[in-house]
Amino acid sequence: MSSGSEPQRQSSMAALPVGTATRPLFAAERRARYFNSANAFNIHLSAVPAGIFSEPVRKALQPDAATGYVVCDQSQALATSYPATTPFMLARYARINVGDALEADFTASGSIWYVMCGTLQIADLDGEADQQVFAGDVLYLPAGKHRLANAGDVSCVAWLVTDEPMLAHHGLRAASAASPGHEAGAVIFRAQDIADQIATIYQTMPDAGTSGMAVVFSAQAHESSRNLMANLTLSLNTLPAHCHQSAHRHNSAALTLVLSGQDCYSRVDGQTCPWTVGATLVTPAAAPHSHHNDGDTRAAFLIVQDGGLYYQARTMGFEFLAEDAG
């Protein structure tokens, strides 16, 4: 297998070096590599750090902050050459000052936005008139170039998540909005409609075994799969006062934006993560976790997961755990 002289006898298959072509004539042959069933699977990847990002939102909300993006980047810990919050997702905050605009043109299959404060105006959305999204609104933008302007008299700050790391890992480029088969159209979820859905849920007897009192966001193009994007899922979960969400795990990673709640925290893989409104919580794939509300008011948190992949593969792996596992 190895080029050059006769290979030396090794004590085990795992100790064998990578094999190459013996007498390559062409570049395509020289690129060939050979492993075996013992040394092919001893790859050691760095763990995905669990924890909560509080500094990026603080930067985005500073009175003198410039228009631009603040990224929740863990690429150094993940050993990636591109920004990433988890292996397949990237969270960031967008700040747009009064009179400014920001371009959203990501190498992603789409982006999910939550407007934290202010008013965004999206130019030429779906070829229609400019549309505005307000504080509390959720927005899905398909791949392609979008121009987002501040349409109000105060600075606008939004939280957004893309699947850029997933495409970067595979060396893919984003499809344009006009590409055949592209996920159809932008979607706007208004704050009042979201509140109405939450109210309906609280007026209904919860089903045993559900993972929370939550609204799951979908779109016409993905109604059958209950997803918002082919890769990413989105939900807004709530916790009544003095309640907690039972410890559980799933094979998808999660990025959670804290919307409201006092005296709240999460337990992720044994680590306590106190909540700060506007902060981003990172829950690695398969990590045991639970959410706790020790306060006197209802808590709310927005969750993006790379769950579309696992639903399609039939490997979501959701399970409740013992109460002390979070």
- Are 109 and 254 part of one and the same domain? yes
In a domain, 164, yes or no: yes
- pLDDT attached to residue 326: 64
Per-residue tokens: 97: 């000052």
- Are 204 and 285 part of one and the same domain? yes
- Are 131 and 3 part of one and the same domain? no
Round to whole Å and give the CA distance between 270 and 290: 10
Helix (H, G, I), strand (E, B) or coil at 111: strand
Q: The domain containing residue 268 runs over which residues?
A: 51-320
- Residue linked to tokens 């409201």: 260
- pLDDT attached to residue 324: 66
- Are 3 and 128 part of one and the same domain? no
- Are 34 and 57 part of one and the same domain? no
Burial label for 232, CB within 10 Å (0-12, 13-18, 19+), is buried
Residuewise pLDDT in 10s, the chain (326 residues): 444 456 667 778 988 999 999 999 999 999 999 999 999 988 889 999 999 999 999 999 999 999 999 999 999 999 999 999 999 999 999 999 999 999 999 999 999 999 999 999 998 887 788 899 999 999 999 999 999 999 999 999 999 999 999 999 999 887 655 444 455 799 999 999 999 999 999 998 777 556 679 999 999 988 998 999 999 999 999 999 999 999 999 999 999 999 999 999 999 999 999 999 999 999 999 999 999 999 999 999 999 999 998 999 999 999 999 876 66
In a domain, 325, yes or no: no
- Residue linked to tokens 């094979």: 251
- Are 13 and 162 part of one and the same domain? no
Cβ distance 282 to 53 under 8 Å? Answer: yes
- Are 62 and 137 part of one and the same domain? yes
- Are 246 and 171 part of one and the same domain? yes
- Are 56 and 131 part of one and the same domain? yes
> How far is CA 38 from its chain centroid?
34
Domain tally, the chain:
2
Per-residue tokens: 302: 């927005």
**Dihedral of the alpha carbons of 188, 193, 195, 199, in degrees to the nearest 10:** -140
- Are 5 and 76 part of one and the same domain? no
Cβ distance 307 to 231 under 8 Å? Answer: no
- Are 9 and 65 part of one and the same domain? no
* Residue 238, strand partner residues: 213, 300
